[in-house]
Chains A and B, each alone.
Chain A
Amino acid sequence: MTVNDSIGYDLIVNEIPAGARVLDLGCGNGDLLAILVDIKGIEPHGVEISQSGVSECVKKGLYVTQSDIDEGLSIYKDNSFDYVIINQTLQNTRYPEQVMKEIMRIGKNAIVSFPNFVFIQIRLQMMLKGHMPDTRVLPFSWYESPNIHLVSIKDFTRYCESRGYPVKKVMHFRQGEGEKPVVSRFFPNLFAEYGFFVLDGLKFTASIKDNK
C-alpha cells in the first residue's frame, strides 16, 4: 500500500534478534520476512489478505495465511510470537483498536510503524494548497485511499499511554526513495515521515484484555 516497499526494513531487521518467532501482519509479497529469514534466521509467519501476496510468499518459503487482520488474530495464543510486526498497515485496518489489542496479546513484543499524518510536507500541502495530502507516502486520492485510519506520532504516543502499552523504544524516521531510513530525533511529530514504536506486550494476555 506504500510507494516504497522497503520502508523501515533496516530498523526492523536491527531490532529483531536471531531465531525469533515473527508474525508480520499485512506481509504483502513477503520481502521483509524473507530478509529476516536470511539475516536473522527467524521463523517466518505472516497474514496477508491477497491471494497474489500469499502466492509470492510461498515462493520464498514463508508460512502465510490468507486472511483479514481485522478478523483473523483471535486464534493465536497469548505471547505466541517473539515479535509481531505491523508495518505501514495499521492505518489500513478497519478496527485499529481491536487489532492493537490482539497484537499486544499475541506478541511478546510489537513493532508498529505507520506514515505520520502530520509530517511537515503534509501540513504545508493542506495549509497552502487546501487539498488532501498527495505525497509519495500517501499517494492516493481521497476516493480510492486504503488509508482509513490515519494517525500522527503524537496520537499514537497518547494512545499507548492511555492503554498502558509500554513503549520500549521509538525510532521515528524519514526515508527517501531507494534510501536507508534516517532516524529523526528533532521534533519527530513534525519532521519524521514515519512513526516507529517498539512496544512491550509481555504482560498483556487474554484475561487482562477482557478486564479492560
Chain B
Amino acid sequence: MEKKPDIVRHLASDSVGLVKTEYLTFAEDEPMRLACGKTLGPITLAYETYGRLNKEKSNAILLLHALSGSAHAAGFHSPDDQYPGWWDAFVGPGKPFDTNRYFIICSNVIGSCVGSTGPASINPQTDTPYALSFPVITVGDMVEAQRHLVDHLGIEKLLAVSGGSMGAMQALDWCIRFPERVHSSIILAVSHSQSALGIAFNEVARQAIFQDPNWNNGDYYDEQIPDQGLALARMIGHITYLSEQKMHEKFGRKLQDKEILSYGFDSEFQIESYLHHQGIKFVNRFDANSYLYLTKALDYFDLRMDHGEGNLSAAFESVQSDFLMISFSSDWLYPSSGMMDMVNALRANGKKVVYFDIETDDGHDAFLLPNTTLAEAIENFLHQEYRKRNDGK
C-alpha cells in the first residue's frame, strides 16, 4: 500500500531525512574575548551537518541563519515534524546545496536561544540564567565562535560560506576576518551595514519587549514570559520581511472569517490575523532576551567601521573569496543599492564577483522561498567553485 507523501516527507529522495542537532562546547578554560571587551565562557554552539566530508576536506559549506533561525537548516527532527528545517528548499540531495556532493554545516549563533549559549543559558558562576548579565554580542563575535566549530570539524578552508540577512552578515564577516579560510561565499539579501530604517524597526521591536510588564528587566525565566511584547516585536519584524505588493496580493483588504465589517477593534482583516498568528507562533519557540541581543547585533553591523576604518573598499581589500551576491528587487529592508555598494567595492578591489538582482514581489523573505533563478544561481556557482578549487584553477 502506498503511503501518503505528506507523512513520509523525510523519506523523500531529495530530503536529507531525519537529522539531529549536535553541540560543541569550548572556551571552558579560557573564555572568549568579545568585541564589547567582556569575555564569555564556556560557550556551546549548536550545529547540524548533512552529507559527507570528502577525503581532501574540500567540500565543506557553512550555512548561516537569519535572526530567528537555528542550526536546523534541512530535514526533519522526527517523522512527526510538521515543518522541515528553515532552508530545506535549498539543501538536500540534488538541491542547490547538494548533499550528495557537499558537506553542509549549519551553525547556530551565540546569543541565540535554540541550543547555543545565550541569555537564557545558565551562567555557571551563578547557576541562574544569564538574562541581562549576558554580554552584548556582535556579528563578529558570532563568527569568532563559529571558527571554533570549523576547527573542531577539522576543516582548514571552507568551500563556501552562505546565508541571507543576518546569515549573510556572518558570511561577509567570515570572508574578511578569515580571508584564507573561505574559498567562496554566497551573500543574499543584506547590506554592508544596518540602515537607520533597520535600526528603527529593531528599536520599536525591542521597546515592545521592554514595555511588557512580564519582561521584568529580563528576569522572567522562572515566571510568566513577556509573550505579548515578543509577539508584538515579531509582528513588527514580519511587516518588514514582506513587500507592499506581496501584502496586497496575499491579503489585500480581505476579511478573516467574516463577510462584513464589524465596526470594532477585534482583528478582522486577514493581514491582522496573519500578523497575530506569526506573533503567537514565535513566542512558543523564541526567547525575548535573545531577540533583544540578536537585534542589537544586527544594529551594530557595519563592515566599514568593523573592518575598513570607515571605508568599504578598504574593508574588502584582503578578502580572497569569490562572491555570488544576490539582492531582491522588492526587499525594502535591505535594498539592492546596499548590495550594489558592496559589489562595487569588491570590483574596485579586483575581486571576483557575480552579482544580480532578482525581480520578485517576495520582499526580504525572498531568499528563504523557492525560486528557480536563485536555486540555479547557487547550484551553478557552487558547482564551478568546487571544480575550480579541486582543479586548482
List the interface of chain A (C-beta within 8 A of B). 21, 43, 45, 51, 54-55, 57-67, 72, 75-77, 80
Contacts and interface: CB of A to CB of B under 8 A. Distances in A.
B384 A58 contact: yes
A76 B347 contact: yes
Given A65-B343, A66-B357, A75-B344, A55 B350 contact: no
Contact of A67 (B340, B348, B380): B340
Contacts of B354: 54, 57-58, 62-65
A61 B356 contact: no
Interface of B: 322, 324, 340, 343-345, 347-348, 350, 352-359, 373, 376-377, 380-381, 384-385, 387-388
A65 B341 CA distance: 12
Contacts of A67: 340, 343, 355
B356 A54 contact: yes
Nearest to B393: A41
Given A51-B358, A57-B354, A65-B354, 20 more contacts: A21-B350, A43-B352, A54-B356, A55-B373, A55-B376, A55-B377, A58-B324, A58-B380, A58-B384, A59-B376, A60-B384, A61-B384, A61-B387, A61-B388, A63-B322, A64-B355, A66-B357, A72-B344, A75-B344, A80-B350
B323 to A, nearest CB: 8
Nearest to A66: B356
Given A55-B376, A80-B350, A66 B384 contact: no
Contacts of B348: 75-77
Interface of A (DSSP majority class): mixed
Contacts, number: 61
Given A55-B373, A58-B380, A63 B353 contact: yes
Contacts of A64: 354-355
Nearest to A54: B356
A72 B377 CA distance: 22
A45 B346 CA distance: 12
Contact of B352 (A45, A60, A77): A45
Nearest to B343: A65
A73 to B, nearest CB: 10
Contacts of B357: 51, 66
10 contacts: A54-B354, A55-B376, A59-B384, A60-B384, A61-B388, A62-B354, A65-B343, A65-B355, A76-B347, A80-B350
Given A59-B380, A63-B322, A75-B347, A54 B359 contact: no
Contacts of B352: 43, 45, 63
